[in-house]
Amino acid sequence: MLRKIRTILAAVFFVLVTLLFLDFTGTLHHWLSWMAKIQFLPAVMALNIVVVIALVLLTLVFGRIYCSVICPLGVFQDILARLRRKKNKYSYSKEVRWLRYPMLVVFIIAGVAGIGSLFQLLAPYSSYGRIATMLFQPLWKIGNNLLAILAERADSYAFYTVDTWMRSLPVFIIAAITLVVLVILAWRGGRTYCNTICPVGTILSFFARFSWFKIHFDTDKCKNCSLCSKNCKAACIDFKTHTVDYSRCVVCGNCIDSCKFGALSYSKPSGKASKTSDASKIDTSKRSFLLASALVSTAALAQKKEKLMDGGLAELEDKVAPERQTPLTPPGSLSFQNLSTRCTGCQLCVSECPNQVLRPSSDFMHLMQPTMSYEHGYCRPECNRCSQVCPAGAIKPVDKDEKTSIQIGHAVWIKKNCVVLTDEVECGNCARHCPSGAIEMVPLDENNEESPMIPAINEAACIGCGACEYVCPSRPFSAIYVEGHEVHRKI
């Protein structure tokens, strides 16, 4: 029964979280964005104390249920492990402390030192987000486009085609390598990643050791058949000594389901003192120190500020992105520093952006965090989806009216690129499409009635949406581009 309940809940959570990343219509986030916000690390980064406390209490009562039900990467490992249709494929192994705890320390140091790429590489929810956004979503869009073509031939418009393009080759490669590593580890050892690499799993293991409900042995019924150990994906059951390493147990229920003698149960402590494995007899003072370090460090990270994003909605010829001195970050991110500090690189904002403005940064120190650019579209003033879905507080929620008053950057005109002067034609695209009215066309020479009209920019009114940069016909470099502001302003 435990296994069935856990499997059903895990399947529901996994499917809904995956759909949240795959959705490009902008509808599902209204109902499902809360599923991203209850993930452990994003909740810590967002200082969502209610969620953090709830997850800790959940672990103290039921064990590491979070890892086997709520965490999409954990459930994904179970799916990969099931592809290997071999019975009794696991065995007990001792905790790999020499790797597990140093990985947590590296994770904390990377966060405190601002090495965002390493920090995000180890974050489990972010790892799955990269896989879903960079690998699964393009396939989802291609399938949608095929349906749209077939529907069009049948005079139906139930589907519409959407662009599929490579947002970031380095992040695509990282996502592909992560998937390969997960497949190998899950195929060979089930929950190896969870119990050796994942920092969230290590943090929750501190609490799981003291959980109220646990897997218990009835030594009178046990026949030492070893089926429990052979079906334990966490490799934490030693049938010879009738012990369970509760710090690694993810309460999957496989052991209870496979036991033919009813010797295992998931219950609260009985009168008898239950045995614990050597692996679970860890110095609690050391655990407390590591736990305190983890929580304090991640909370300290959330006090800083963040990073960059990318952009696009409409479609023209490909352009070359300008070299911005200051990266562009979306409205609600407050500043480049705030974004780079709190962002976990989960790619949810990138996958949800309907304007194709957001993409993962290729900058090494901020690799995988979102950045803005306007080659494929612009940041529409009426769109605030990225601020609604961000689970880590890297992009604060902003309403549509508030967004139009946030200045993320300002437009800059490059005289030598403007087609009015290079091709001697009339243009004015930038002025016509500016939603804030910050650009007007003025004569190059006020004393000449036949002087060509060029754009004049009112920086105080410009919000940096990038409409001018996107619609500029100059190729390969726009004659007008947006320079970012390190700290956003209100106009």
Closest CA to 286 of 101, 59, 58: 101
The pLDDT of residue 316 = 44
Q: What is the pLDDT of residues 36-79, one digit of tens each?
A: 999 999 999 999 999 999 999 999 999 999 999 999 999 999 99
Band of residue 86 on the pLDDT scale cut at 50, 70, 90: confident
Residues 322-381 pLDDT 10s: 989 999 999 999 999 999 889 999 999 999 998 999 999 888 778 889 999 999 899 999
From the CA atom positions of the chain, what is the Rg in Å? 26
Q: Give the model's pLDDT for residue 442.
A: 94
> Residue 261: its pLDDT value, please?
94
Q: Show the 3-state SS of 457-479.
A: ECCCCCCCCCHHHHHCCCCCCCC
Q: Compute the average pLDDT of residues 230-258.
A: 94
Q: How many CA atoms lie within 13 A of 94 on its CB side?
A: 8
Q: Supply the mean pLDDT for the chain.
A: 87
Q: What is the pLDDT of residues 417-427, one digit of tens each?
A: 999 999 999 99
Closest by CA position to 207, among listed 266, 290, 267, 274: 290
What pLDDT score does 317 carry? 55
Judged by DSSP in three states, 61 sits in helix
- Mean pLDDT lowest among 194-198, 309-313, 315-319, 441-445: 309-313
Q: Are strands 453-457 and 243-244 parallel, antiparallel or unpaired?
A: unpaired
pLDDT for 384-414, tens place per residue?
999 999 999 999 999 988 999 999 999 999 9
**pLDDT at res. 270:** 65
Residue 154 has pLDDT above 50, yes or no: yes
Task: Dihedral sign for Cα 65, 67, 73, 79, please.
Answer: negative
% the chain with pLDDT above 70 = 90
What pLDDT sits at residue 236? 96
Mean pLDDT calculated for residue range 105-131: 89
Q: What is the mean pLDDT of residues 278-286?
A: 42
d(CA 124, CA 202): 11
Mean pLDDT (whole number) for 94-119: 89
Closest listed residue to residue 348, CA positions, set 131, 122, 58: 131
Label residue 2 by pLDDT band (50, 70, 90): confident
Going by pLDDT thresholds of 50, 70 and 90, the confidence category of residue 287 is very low
Instruction: Please report which confidence band the pLDDT of residue 218 belongs to, taking 50, 70 and 90 as the band edges.
Output: very high
- Report yes or no: 96 and 185 within 8 Å, Cβ to Cβ: no
Classify residue 148 by burial, with Cβ atoms within 10 Å: 0-12, 13-18, 19+: middle
Residue 137 banded pLDDT, cuts 50, 70, 90 = very high
Q: Which of 42, 45, 16, 43 is nearest to 31 (CA)?
A: 16
Residue 307 has pLDDT above 50, yes or no: no
Place of tokens 């000449």: 448
> At residue 478, does pLDDT exceed 90?
yes
Tokens of 469: 């940069």
- The pLDDT > 90 percentage for the chain reads 70
DSSP state of 335: B
Residue 291 is predicted with a pLDDT of: 44
Residue type, 124: P
Q: What is the dihedral of CA 123, 207, 104, 45, to 10 degrees?
A: 40
